[in-house]
Chain A
Amino acid sequence: MKIGIFQLNGCTKCRNEIINLIGNPELIVRNVKDYEEETDVKLIWCTDEYNLPSSIDIAIFSGYATSENLHCLQEIRKIANQVFTFGSCATDGGIFGLAYQKGIEIFPISKIISVDQEIRGCLASGDHLLALLKDYNQFQSEKLCEKCPRESTCSFLEEIVHQIDLQELDEKQCFNDVGYTCSGYIANNCQERCIDFGTPCRGCNPFIDDSSIRMLGMMGTLMGQMDVATEASSKGATDKLADEEDEISSAYSDVVGTFFRFTLANSPIPPGKIPSSGNIIADIMVGRPIEELPLITGMMGGKSFISMTIDILDAYEKGIKLELDNELKTIREQLLELEKKYKLACENMDPNLYAESTENIRKLAGNMNLSNLYFGGMKIKLDSFKNFDNFRAHPIPIQEGTYTSSSKNVTFTLDSRGIITNWESKNYEL
């Protein structure tokens, strides 16, 4: 069986996850150069779109697609028996789909060609892919809320909060019950499980169509106790919804980034009209609140996801003068070292080094999305931490201003609500 792996644009983390399959005894996967035995599964890493093999059994796509990829995708569909999309970007537009708000056309692959299997998730699960390769119908997904230790009461909310102190939250209490928006209601259980590391789910792996719109409706319903502005209609002499700011409209400074983080390009709204800056990373970042930034870069940073995240943490920590614990500094240095190993593993297609480096990253940062990292500390105690109380993360103050990291790689400007209004970064290797 020949499996072609095609990386489109953007972050390569999902493609790298496929390295895990090389040499996997369950599939007897051979790497690219072995063509001897017909029964073997061969992974063909297709880098040149003009030099396609004559036929492949399964084409796996990762990364986001733009109008430039349309022709190439159609050509691959012709030679491929089956098409899989792997990861949120290929399936729904993913985190890069946030640039859709700035009018950049990003296509979910299923809108261009027919797709046989869609594997969602940021990071997409290699186990899910393996299960599908072994047996087409075998993979059974579970709902995240069923597997979450916290229990939701779905009671009406008094307020929406954007940061919480995890110490004040009961172990069984649902994030949504305290107004800390979590899209777990619409999500499948996944491999990364941000919820285990004090980070609410943003719905990268939904089990339902139009998941973000549904989640928006759900939160709108839960906000039943909050004030909404009404006014008398001049024409019909009855009341109507007013257009002024009220508790509901000011509760979220970024509805797009909160509810539509992974599915904006696949949602039933035309491309946004916010002016684009020309740089896709800046288009994703502008409009997002500061407290969500580490998770966004942890997910879309490609091979530089750790250095990008630490640069952002460093920039803001320096700006608001947060003192860092020495152990935390060591952990961050170790993470940066691990990133070099991870890069090396990806370049050499080395499954052993890949497994070793990702396992160590998970030990320090919780998961491959770096959910445990936050400004000034870590969210949840992991086994590898010695004096966790010294670097426990707390809610950060929001301060207007321009922040630059010590490495000068990232510069961003925040407005008074903590929303990014300007973003500049060096070209990270994605």
Chain B
Amino acid sequence: METKTKKNVVCFMCAECGQGAANTAGVARMQYDTSIKIIRVKCAGQVGPIQIMDAYKNGADSVAVIGCCFGACHFFNGNLVSLRRVKLLKKFIKEMGYSELILNQYTARAAEGETAVGDFEDILEKLKQAIENKGVLKQ
């Protein structure tokens, strides 16, 4: 756990399902790692390469976007649009010679806190792999 807590993981969570699941996890007193820093956004579709690169520039080791389940975006299709942007940005990071595991997108269900906590665990597991492969952006 020691190595994990030194890291910064920025999670953009949508105010509907993503943040809802994190709230449910909090109510149920589920624990997750302290390296997770949540940024609440109105919709996952608001998050694009600019915001993600800003997070890296300001010290994030890993960035994740967490939105609603597919087909369940509370607006129109913000999670699906964001998914494609994230995939394209992942490709850019890979082409620059870094690990694409430092950028991920997940979905969560507001009624189930364990979905958000599970996503966090998955992010940290992937970040660990990326660090082992020397693929993180920070030197």
Which A residues lie at the B interface, using CB under 8 A? 101, 103, 210, 213-214, 216-217, 219-221, 223-224, 226, 228, 230, 233-241, 243, 246, 248-249, 252, 254-256, 259-260, 267-270, 272-274, 287
Q: Is the CB of A239 within 8 A of B49?
A: no
Taking the closest CB of chain B, its distance from the CB of A240, in whole angstroms, is 5
Chain B 75-121 residues near chain A, CB threshold 8 A: 77, 80-81, 83-93, 95-98, 100-101, 104-109, 112, 114-119, 121
Provide the residues of chain A in CB contact with B92, threshold 8 Å.
Answer: 216, 255-256, 259-260, 269
Which B residues lie at the A interface, using CB under 8 A? 48-50, 53-54, 56-57, 69-70, 77, 80-81, 83-93, 95-98, 100-101, 104-109, 112, 114-119, 121-122, 137-139
Provide the residues of chain B in CB contact with A210, threshold 8 Å.
Answer: 50, 53
5 CB contacts below 8 A, A to B, read: A224-B81, A230-B83, A239-B69, A241-B106, A274-B97
Q: Is the CB of B108 within 8 A of A238?
A: yes
Q: Is the CB of B84 within 8 A of A220?
A: yes
Q: Is the CB of A220 within 8 A of B122?
A: no
Q: How far is it, in angstroms, between the C-alpha of A246 and the C-alpha of B84 when the chains are bound?
A: 10
Q: How far is it, in angstroms, between the C-alpha of A274 and the C-alpha of B95 when the chains are bound?
A: 8
Interface contacts beyond A220-B84, A241-B104: sample of 5 additional A-B pairs, CB < 8 Å, sorted by A: A228-B84, A236-B115, A269-B93, A270-B138, A272-B97
- Given the known interface contacts A228-B87, A287-B95, the answer about A269 and B49 at a Cβ–Cβ threshold of 8 Å is no
Query: Among the interface residues A248, A254, A259, which one has the most CB atoms of the partner chain B within 10 A?
Result: A248
Q: Which of B77, B88, B112, B121 contacts A220 (CB 8 A)?
A: B88
Taking the closest CB of chain B, its distance from the CB of A211, in whole angstroms, is 11
Query: Among the interface residues B56, B57, B104, B107, which one has the most CB atoms of the partner chain A within 10 A?
Result: B107
Q: Is the CB of B96 within 8 A of A235?
A: no
Q: How far is it, in angstroms, between the C-alpha of A225 and the C-alpha of B68 when the chains are bound?
A: 19
Provide the residues of chain A in CB contact with B138, threshold 8 Å.
Answer: 270
Provide the residues of chain B in CB contact with A272, threshold 8 Å.
Answer: 95-98
Q: Is the CB of B100 within 8 A of A243?
A: yes
Q: Is the CB of A230 within 8 A of B95?
A: no
Q: Which of A103, A234, A239 contacts B107 (CB 8 A)?
A: A239
Q: Is the CB of A238 within 8 A of B109?
A: yes
Q: Is the CB of A221 within 8 A of B50?
A: no
Q: Is the CB of A216 within 8 A of B89?
A: yes
Q: How far is it, in angstroms, between the C-alpha of A287 and the C-alpha of B92 when the chains are bound?
A: 12
- Given the known interface contacts A221-B85, A241-B87, A287-B95, the answer about A268 and B53 at a Cβ–Cβ threshold of 8 Å is yes
Q: Who on chain B is nearest to A227 by CB?
A: B84
Q: Who on chain B is nearest to A257 by CB?
A: B95
Q: Is the CB of B119 within 8 A of A233?
A: yes
Q: Is the CB of A217 within 8 A of B49?
A: yes
Q: How far is it, in angstroms, between the C-alpha of A243 and the C-alpha of B96 when the chains are bound?
A: 16
Q: How far is it, in angstroms, between the C-alpha of A272 and the C-alpha of B121 when the chains are bound?
A: 28
Provide the residues of chain A in CB contact with B69, threshold 8 Å.
Answer: 238-239
- Given the known interface contacts A235-B122, A236-B116, A241-B106, the answer about A219 and B88 at a Cβ–Cβ threshold of 8 Å is yes
Q: Is the CB of B54 within 8 A of A268?
A: yes
Taking the closest CB of chain B, its distance from the CB of A98, in whole angstroms, is 11
Q: How far is it, in angstroms, between the C-alpha of A255 and the C-alpha of B97 when the chains are bound?
A: 13
Provide the residues of chain A in CB contact with B107, threshold 8 Å.
Answer: 238-240
Q: Is the CB of A230 within 8 A of B70?
A: yes
Q: How far is it, in angstroms, between the C-alpha of A240 and the C-alpha of B122 when the chains are bound?
A: 10
Taking the closest CB of chain B, its distance from the CB of A25, in whole angstroms, is 45
- Given the known interface contacts A236-B106, A240-B106, A273-B97, the answer about A223 and B122 at a Cβ–Cβ threshold of 8 Å is no
Q: Is the CB of B116 within 8 A of A213?
A: no
- Given the known interface contacts A213-B53, A236-B108, the answer about A243 and B118 at a Cβ–Cβ threshold of 8 Å is no
Q: Is the CB of B137 within 8 A of A224?
A: no
Q: How far is it, in angstroms, between the C-alpha of A273 and the C-alpha of B83 when the chains are bound?
A: 26
